Structure formats: structure tokens, C-alpha cells
Amino acid sequence: MNRRPLCFGRLLLVVLLGTWSLPLTGQPLSGPAAPAPTSAPANEPQSPTYRPDSLYPLDGLLAERQAALNFDPLTGIGQLLSGGDLIRFKLGEGLFLFGGSLISWLEPVRWVDGRLQAPGATLQAMGEWFALRRAERTALTSVAVILIDPGHGGRDPGAVGLFGSGSAAWQAREKDITLAIALELYRQLTQLWPDKTILITRTGDTFPSLEDRVSMANGLELGVNEAIIYISIHANASFNARANGFEVWYLNPEYRRTVLDDSKTEGHSQDVLPILNTMLEEEYTTESIFLARAIQDGLSAQVGGQTSNRGVRAEEWFVVRNARMPSVLVEVGFVTNEAEAQRLSTEAYLQKLTKGIYNGVVSFVDYFEQRRTPSTP
Ligand SMILES: [Zn+2]
């Protein structure tokens, strides 16, 4: 059997069929009946043939695309994951989210006879999209942009630790520490990846607003398979002078943010926006957690013997929650702890912190671009 070329034209056709088809009857609407589903020949990957309007369990699609199904009965949201590509759907809803941005209307997945089932046209569209993505991804997926954001600056010093008195008085300022680390991280990443766009929100003692920092990233035009990651660097302060250590924050998954532009849903009901945002948010959150863990591990390897590893944390940071991309905020240490403030004032310690963040970013990007697959035994 000839294999059909895969293209979006076909996908869109299927989408339209799905949109306009009549309520499910178990029978094709018109034309000759397609043959019943058959199993693929032993060594040639081949899509099952579906009747567009008949209901089938998702098993055939899962086997065909080696996909995993994750379904949450409480929210009714399901995810199909195949080789890093994700399709999200909601039970009984015609709205499907393919990857991060492609919205399609298909006949919905339903709960029938104690299991998830979908019409043949829906399964076919999903199977073809997975195949297309696989073909594209093989060559192209990359982290194209890394945005480094040294916290504070200019009139905003951030946290300040004041120590000693008289002629022995000295201080450690967050804005200086974050800039030193960010500039060195920028230099090292630019050297490692001349083909990637490495951006930094400030290179001197200036104060870009929080909106400026985030819009710098959100305004970038990216290719279909290009991603951007956002790393905000800060130092900590506490009334407890003994508090010390580093931690990495990512967005609290319970925070509901608007990650999708209204423009992408033109012509569709506003009702779907919350559903889409919930779906998309989960992807960013998952990637942000991976990135946070990678940086935390990197820091732990460099300075874990000298200060506390305070772990990976979730919070609703402004800079993070407005970024439509995997984003983390790194707290490198406490300027209010005298011993830590002294460390943070030495070139050698800042180099170690930079190396830790750098190693974390490199391992995340390697994972993301699938040069390594940690999940493979
Ligand atoms: Zn800060």
C-alpha cells in the first residue's frame, strides 16, 4: 500500500470533516464504507484504517504512535504523548490542542463502555499530526533563545546586606551579584552556542522594568520548532541572619495565567480560552520544573558543600508568571548572612555559581533537544 504524504492540508480537511459531521451514528455518513480496522504488517509501520464516524478505543492510536495516555477523570483533560509531542483534549469537547499552539476542532473523545473512545476521523487526525511532528522534530527542535535576566539594577539595588561599622563597613548588593553572574553566564553560553540567540536584559547598572524584561522575551518571533527559556537571577534576604543557601523557583502550577494570545483563538468562542490555557500551562510548568531541577543540581554540584541546598520551589513570581515560556528564578544566596555575603563578594564563588547555572542550562537544553534521553535505560 502506498503511504500517503503527510501535510497540513490533509489535517485541515480532516478537521473540517470533524467539525461538520453529524452526531455519531456508528455508520459512515456517505460514500463506500472503509474496510474495518486491520493490524499492520509485521515490519512496516502503517496506520490503521478507521471509519471516520465510527467510535474506536484509543488503543490503536497508542500502539501505532507508541504514545502514552494520561487522563485525569476529575478535570476531564487527557494528554497523548508520543516522542515528546503532546496532544491535549477535554472529554466531550471538540477542542484539541496540538503541541503548544495548533488548535483544532474535531469530534470529541468520549467515555463509552468504560473506556475512552474517539471517532475514526479524530484518531486519524491525531495519528497524522504525530507522524508529521516526528518528521519535523528529528531535524529541527531546538532551544533557539535563552534570555538571562539579572534582577534589579540602577535605582533598585534589590536586597542589601550591611556589615561592620565605621571604616570597616561594607555591603553586599543584590543588583551587583546578579549582574556579575548574568554577564559571565551570558559570555559562556554565547561561546558554547554561537548559533543560539543569547539575550540579557541589562549589561550595566540600569533598571529595566519588569514589563520590559518579560516583553523582551514575549516579543520574539520563533520558528515552529524553536523554544525560548527564561532565567531570572536574584539574591535573597532574610531577617534571620543565619539563613543561607540557594534555591530555584518555578511557577506554581495552581496559578492560572493567560499564556495564549486571544489572537490565536480568533473566530472561536471565548469559552475555550480557560481550557486552552490550562492545557498549555501544564506544558510550560513541566518544562520549567525540569529546568529548575537541572539548575538546582548544577548549583548543588558546585557549591553544595559550602552552603545550604534549599531545593526547588514553586511560587507566583511576577517575572515568571508573565513569561510565556519555560521560566525559572534562581536565588543564588543570602546577602543578609555575613559569611554568605562574603562568599558572594568573591570572584571565585560567583564563578562557581555561574558554572552551576551554566551546567544546569546545558543539561536541560541537551535533554530538550533530545541529544540525550535520560529516561532511556
Ligand atoms: Zn531580587
Q: How far is the CA of 345 from the centre of ligand 1 (A)?
A: 16
Q: How far is the CA of 236 from the centre of ligand 1 (A)?
A: 7
The three grid cell numbers given for residue 129, joined into one nine-digit string: 499530526
Please write the tens of the pLDDT for every residue from 275-329.
655 655 666 777 888 899 999 999 999 999 999 999 998 866 545 455 567 788 8
Q: How far is the CA of 188 from the centre of ligand 1 (A)?
A: 23
Q: How far is the CA of 234 from the centre of ligand 1 (A)?
A: 4
Give yes or no for residue 269 having a pLDDT over 70.
no
Please write the tens of the pLDDT for every residue from 103-128.
888 999 999 999 999 999 999 999 98
Predicted pLDDT of residue 7: 30
Q: How far is the CA of 318 from the centre of ligand 1 (A)?
A: 11
Q: How far is the CA of 19 from the centre of ligand 1 (A)?
A: 49
Q: How far is the CA of 220 from the centre of ligand 1 (A)?
A: 25
Please write the tens of the pLDDT for every residue from 39-66.
433 443 455 678 888 999 999 899 988 8
Q: How far is the CA of 41 from the centre of ligand 1 (A)?
A: 59
Residue 241 contacts residue 338 (beta carbons within 8 Å): yes
Contacts of 35 (CB under 8 A, 6+ apart): 49
- Quick one: fold of 8-139? Copper Amine Oxidase; Chain A, domain 1 (3.30.457)
Q: How far is the CA of 205 from the centre of ligand 1 (A)?
A: 14
DSSP secondary structure letters along 305-350: TTS-EEEEEEE--HHHHT-SS-EEEEEEEETTSHHHHHHHTSHHHH
Please write the tens of the pLDDT for every residue from 210-257.
778 777 777 777 776 678 888 999 999 999 999 999 999 886 655 545
- Whole-number Å distance between alpha carbons of 58 and 130: 14
Q: How far is the CA of 42 from the centre of ligand 1 (A)?
A: 58
Q: How far is the CA of 287 from the centre of ligand 1 (A)?
A: 23
pLDDT band, very low/low/confident/very high, at 268 (cuts 50, 70, 90):
very low
Which residues have C-beta under 5 Å from ligand 1, the single-atom ion?
Answer: 151, 158, 234
Q: How far is the CA of 237 from the centre of ligand 1 (A)?
A: 9
Q: How far is the CA of 331 from the centre of ligand 1 (A)?
A: 8
Residue ranges, comma separated, of all CATH 3.40.630.40 domains in the chain are: 141-368
% of the chain beyond a pLDDT of 90? 49
- Whole-number Å distance between alpha carbons of 240 and 105: 55
The domain made up of 141-368 is a member of CATH 3.40.630.40 = yes
C-alpha atoms less than 13 angstroms from C-alpha of 120 in its C-beta half-sphere: 18
Give yes or no for residue 36 having a pLDDT over 50.
no
- Whole-number Å distance between alpha carbons of 325 and 323: 6
Predicted pLDDT of residue 138: 55
Give yes or no for residue 154 having a pLDDT over 50.
yes
Residue 19 contacts residue 106 (beta carbons within 8 Å): yes
Q: How far is the CA of 238 from the centre of ligand 1 (A)?
A: 12
Residue 89 contacts residue 51 (beta carbons within 8 Å): no
Give yes or no for residue 172 having a pLDDT over 50.
yes
What is the average pLDDT across 18-24?
A: 27
Residue ranges, comma separated, of all CATH 3.30.457.10 domains in the chain are: 8-139
Q: How far is the CA of 211 from the centre of ligand 1 (A)?
A: 15
HEC per residue, 194-249: CCCEEEECCCCCCCCCHHHHHHHHHCCCCCCCEEEEEEEEEEECCCCCCCCCEEEE
Predicted pLDDT of residue 139: 47
**Residue 117: closest CA among 61, 166, 156, 168:** 61
Predicted pLDDT of residue 293: 94
Residue 312 contacts residue 328 (beta carbons within 8 Å): no
Residue 137 contacts residue 85 (beta carbons within 8 Å): yes
Of the listed ranges 8-17, 126-135, 144-153, 343-352, the one predicted with least confidence: 8-17
**Beta bridge partner(s), residue 96:** 89, 104
